[in-house]
Amino acid sequence: MNARDSKLAVIGQGYVGLPLSMAAVAVGFDVVGVDVNVDRIGMLLRGESYVEDIPSSQVASSIASGQFTPTTEIDDCMEFDVAVITVPTPLRDGAPDLSFIEESSTQLAPLVRKGATVILESTTYPGTTEELMIPILEAGSGFKAGVDFFVGYSPERIDPGNARYHFTNTPKVVSGIDAASLAAVDGFYSRIVETTVPVSTTRVAELSKLLENTFRHVNIALVNELARFASALNVDVWEAIDAASSKPFGYMRFVPGPGVGGHCLPVDPSYLSWKVEAESGEPFRFIELANDINEQMPEFVVTRATELLASRGKPISSANVVVIGLAYKKNTSDVRESPALHVCELLEHAGAAVKVVDPHVVESTNVPWMLAPLSPELIDAADLVIIVTDHDNLDYDLITSHAQAIFDTRHRLSPASNVTFL
């Protein structure tokens, strides 16, 4: 079966599902993109993209070609050849919430037919594919996984705003519940991406995703902790990191910041920690420590901001503060779990008047702070400017030349008399 004979159902049209849908359309798949968000589907039907790495023109042309059908109706996926589940897996009170996977599997199950392939991409703990998804699919379809239809897991590796690595040129880890399922899953992704990385079991694939993000989470926590203590050591932590980064082996560069955000780092390591403790009865101490350090960074930022204002004779309770950047990552509009949200909350709780500049975040985003355009007047009126997210399309010369004081948590600016670094 080639791509042009295949019907692909993608359940979830967010930061993972939409790029997959567009990449599949590009190689000839007929794609049904399902999402419960009516507004999101409405935008897609109008040819509008809400994912910055996907241009609206690509969505519009995919719909015009007849190869892409956005819908809220799961029945539109009938007679699918391949279905990929890319729904959210949030944490609720510190425990994994797999309700979106359960609901999607339940709705998809009656549509499963012999020879079809179902793939889970949502980040989760080892065992989810076999222990949760498969029983639901089998009960709702009346078929046997590995006998009548194929099942696999392939972790998403979407990196919003990355100009170098995108969906098709990022190696894709693939797995199946048996050899035939692995072949089906590998065969599907091999049509879309340049490189696949087959592994022996779905559990290995599930763990690989958690390992990738736990590695980042722990190392970011390490440099964040260093940044907090560097002044006590009378050392410029940024210069030390630059020096260490000159080593061509045995070292990987990580830098401190105001905290971690997005779906991955604040969530994924906790999935692993939760599963380890559930199975072994012992805590995953590295993850718990990293969580504690990274979660405290917004508070550390506000403490430093309070000290900077006090050193200039200005109490934070009456200060005008401009926060630069609300998204969790530069050059994106994604505010999920952004440390900037917590920084703004803490500033307001301390009595500061807060205004936010973020050219990537639109007014319709559900945030309570005033989004203001960057202007000399705005910066002139600020007692302190805090750079939390260093988007490339901001005029940093304007900020530096008009600000009374700047707290740069990203080390974006050059050293100056009015600039303090994290």
Dihedral sign computed on CA atoms, order 208, 211, 213, 215? negative
Q: Residue 84 corresponds to which tokens in the numbers above?
A: 């990929």
Angle between helices 285-311 and 268-280 (to 10 degrees): 140
**Per-residue model confidence (pLDDT) at position 330:** 92
Domain ranges (residues) in the chain: 3-200, 238-421
User: 82: which DSSP letter?
Assistant: E
Mean pLDDT, residues 12-35 taken together: 96
**Per-residue model confidence (pLDDT) at position 366:** 66
Class of 3-200 in CATH: alpha beta
Phi, psi of 172 (to 5 degrees): -115, 115
Q: Do 224 and 191 meet the contact criterion of CB atoms below 8 Å apart? A: no
Q: Which of 142-151, 164-173, 266-275, 402-411 has the lowest mean pLDDT?
A: 266-275
Mean pLDDT, residues 191-207 taken together: 98
Q: Which of 2-16, 240-254, 362-376, 384-398 has the lowest mean pLDDT?
A: 362-376
Q: Residue 284 corresponds to which tokens in the numbers above?
A: 């995953």
Cα–Cα distance for residue pair 105/86, rounded to 1 Å: 11
Q: Do 6 and 30 meet the contact criterion of CB atoms below 8 Å apart? A: yes
**Per-residue model confidence (pLDDT) at position 1:** 45
Cα–Cα distance for residue pair 92/54, rounded to 1 Å: 30
Query: Closest by alpha carbon to 397, among 372, 383, 416, 370?
Result: 416
Neighbours of 366 (CB within 10 A): 5
Q: Domain 238-421 classified CATH 3.40.50.300?
A: no
Mean pLDDT, residues 58-76 taken together: 97
pLDDT for 367 beyond 80: no
Half-sphere exposure of 236 (CA within 13 A, CB side): 8
Mean pLDDT, residues 313-342 taken together: 94
* Catalytic residue set: 264
Query: Closest by alpha carbon to 137, among 114, 166, 171, 155?
Result: 114
Q: What is the pTM of this model?
A: 0.91
The pLDDT tens digits of the residues spanning 215-274 come to 999 999 999 999 999 988 999 999 999 999 999 999 999 999 999 988 777 788 888 898
Mean pLDDT, residues 367-392 taken together: 93
The answer to whether domain 3-200 and domain 238-421 are alike in fold is yes
pLDDT for 13 beyond 70: yes
**Per-residue model confidence (pLDDT) at position 364:** 55
| Strand-pair category, 172-176 with 150-153 | antiparallel
